[in-house]
Structure 1
């Protein structure tokens, strides 16, 4: 019984992947390009750096208000 259900799940997943329209290669469905590693590194630095720096900028803004 477990063997049949796992076989069904495997077939269903492979059918979904085969019929999906995301391009068929890793990274095709991402909203950014992963082929240029320098651009990708820059995007990661900006994304995570802004999230890390936001509390410090908010704190500075609150402390400098008169």
Structure 2
């Protein structure tokens, strides 16, 4: 009883992934799966700096805020 269900589940899973790859892939274009645009080099650099600096500066800003509270 479990074996036919496992086969059916496996087949359905493969069909879903096959259809997803077929419908969402554009043939190996670099950067197609990224959530941001990489065509403008300077915009990408600026966004990267903002992203990384916000993560690195957050602990220091939080500590400063806590120390300045009365």
Range of TM-score over shorter length: 0.5 to 0.7
Shift of 1:29: 1.3
Equivalent runs, 1:7-26 vs 2, <5 Å: 19=22, 21-24=24-27, 25-26=29-30
Gap regions ≥5 residues in structure 1:
1-15
TM-score (norm 1): 0.67
TM-score (norm 2): 0.63
Q: Which has the larger radius of gyration?
A: 2
State the match for 2:61 in structure 1: 57
Moved over 3 A (4+): none
CA RMSD, 1 decimal: 1.7
